[in-house]
Amino acid sequence: MDEETELAYHLRQLKQRCGRSYTALAHRTGLSRSALHRYCQGPHVPPEFATVERIARVCGATPEELDALYTAWSRQRVTDSSGSADTSGPADGAGVPPGGDGEPPGADGVPPRADAENPAADREPRSAAAPDEQHPDTATPTHSPGDQDNRPRPAAPWASPRSWPRRAVIAVLALLCAAVTLSPPDRPPAGTGPSSGPPIPHYTGDAWSDTPEALDPEFIGMTMNTDTGRMPDFRVGGVRLWESETRWGQLQPERDQFSWTVLERMVDGAERRDLPVLFTFGGTPGWAAPEGDITPYGDGTRTAPPDDLDDWDRFVREITTRYRGRIDAYELWDNAGSRSHYAGDMPTLAEMVRRAHRIIADTDPDALLVCPSFGRLWHREGRALLREFTRTGAYKYCDAAGVKLHPRRADGPPEEIIELAARVDRTLYAEDQAMRLWNTGPGKDVVTAPPLDDRTAQDYAVRFYLAGMYAHHYQKVDRMYFYSWGGSTRIPLIVQPAGGAPTEAGRRIGRLAGWLSGTGIAACGSGRDVQLPEGVYECWFRKDAGEGRKSRWLAVRWTRDGVTSGRAPGATTLRRMDGSTRSLRPGDRIEYGPSPVLLEYATGRGRPAARDGG
């Protein structure tokens, strides 16, 4: 069997074993029927492994089967990017028609996953360069007692030497091919060149599509790294107070002494700009946990919870009473998944959440509560800790879950956030927990990563927000707080230094916020599924023009890397991140890359249907 058809073979075996039709699978995965058909018949390969995993989990795949799928998917992606893919496919199931693009997602509006009791519910396939090997701050993960994956598994039916000979040799060759076939930044994304085989019919389907939902201005948020009270000089929707010298131990240096000067200055600054404030708890005072480890902030605050939770109650009551109606939301601890920020156990943290909920319901009932944020979610032990907290039942006291959604590396492509959001959502779903997600920060390596080059830096933050929008529907990402504004220059990207003017990256954040002001997000998709080259992302928005007037459709396109060009039938205006604008005529080609472009369409009732990446 040709290597290019191995992925399709595995998917067909799963489909046949679970006994579901293409229509039933489409309904449960949120994919179109035609997309499922071509993935199971080959040689088409989804641009993201998350698509393969979604199909596999609905079919009840074991962890070993997921591993085999990932190996096949990786190998076929490498083969396709080299331009030598064989377009012939197996005959199995050839009689299934490829129509039916309009299949709806599951009845609850989110793609169904495998049963929560499935032991594979949070197992990721192993890759040749696992995320743990890419992070300088992590060791090889060990199994946690709470990790469901620490139990024996039956052997995968595909894993025998008889099924796929030369597996190890081919995997090594695939990695070697990947090292020499990566396109330089100025080349079109992989898969856009001419095919060496016969023409292949193509079908369309967004990753998700829904009635346009208003995008809250607060979605585009910023973590403040200054105590000056200054706010960004570019447009954002809200600010998060953490590295703003407002930790608990700084606001209450002694049991009977409170110091509100800095927090007052920060809240005043936000109010002058009409920016909603998210206050983040953390940094226990030394007097409240004298035996606790000291945080890395140099202010004597502790990572341990207070020895007496009555001290926590008092602080929560004091701050929420003082700032009633002025602070919009409270994040109930920062980075609880890291011992440098929280060294207590999960039951204690859950009790702190319960107490805070009870107090704030009395002192400021309109304030939103964000459960403690968890990081290191690319790693199994990080998700195991999130799972452990979920099992305490504390999420019932919160309006949203705080999570750290970021690329595998601090300087990695922002689009990896889409995959991580899906993993987090699956972890919560496996515990029968559905929560809105607020992305409150980066990974630990953000302070050790090298600066981004000027070209990458310009649009990096913009792509960070767009990746969150892509994950908004299925993964329920509601807010994205970029790290950070102001003080620190020891991070890969500076959007505005303290006392200075915004960088080009900062100006482009403001431009994106202006583009999308007053819009509703309707759909997102990528690659061939939306008739665009592989590696191209697109999100659609609708902007209402007012009562009695027709709405206008907008689309934002960008690539993960590389530059490509194509047409946008029906588009009338092209806007670029550098501020330039030009009118479009029918048949005009547009060029775009990692710097997103905005396409404006003529007013009308329906969303433009045609898209042309060629």
pLDDT, one tens digit per residue, over 316-352 is: 999 999 999 999 999 999 999 999 999 999 999 999 9
Lowest pLDDT segment from 132-136, 216-220, 257-261, 402-406 = 132-136
Residues of the domain holding 543? 521-601
Q: Which residue has the higher pLDDT, 60 or 111?
A: 60
Residues 6+ apart with CB under 8 A from 201: 98
pLDDT tens-digit map of 59-86: 888 888 888 898 888 888 777 655 433 3
Residue 239 pLDDT greater than 80, yes or no: yes
Judge if 508 and 570 occupy the same domain.
Answer: no
Judge if 338 and 421 occupy the same domain.
Answer: yes
Strands (E), 456-612: 477-486, 519-526, 536-543, 552-559, 564-567, 571-576, 581-583, 589-592, 597-601
- pLDDT recorded at residue 43: 67
Distance CA 535, CA 48 (A): 9
Domain end among 158, 182, 206: 182
Q: Is 33 left (phi over 0), alpha (psi -120 to 50) or beta?
A: alpha
Q: What is the mean pLDDT of the chain?
A: 81
Contact 135, 409 (CB under 8 A): yes
Judge if 340 and 470 occupy the same domain.
Answer: yes
Judge if 464 and 535 occupy the same domain.
Answer: no
Angle at 63 between CA 60 and CA 64, to 5 degrees: 110
Distance CA 483, CA 221 (A): 9
Residue 21 covered by a domain: yes
pLDDT tens-digit map of 410-467: 999 999 999 999 999 999 999 999 999 999 999 989 989 999 999 999 999 999 999 9
- Token pair 């606001």 in the structure block, residue: 251
Query: Residue 402 is part of a domain; what is its CATH number?
Result: 3.20.20.80
pTM here?
A: 0.70
Residue 199 covered by a domain: no
Cis geometry, peptide bond prior to residue 484 (ω within 30 degrees of 0): yes
Domain end among 516, 550, 577: 516
Angle between helices 6-18 and 49-58 (to 10 degrees): 20
Residue 252 covered by a domain: no
Q: Which two tokens stand for residue 155?
A: 């052997």
Q: What is the mean pLDDT of residues 198-205?
A: 52
Q: Is 162 helix (H, G, I), strand (E, B) or coil?
A: coil
Residue 204 covered by a domain: no
Distance CA 31, CA 536 (A): 18
pLDDT tens-digit map of 469-487: 999 988 999 999 999 998 7
Number of domains in the chain: 3
Confidence of residue 9 (pLDDT cuts 50, 70, 90): confident
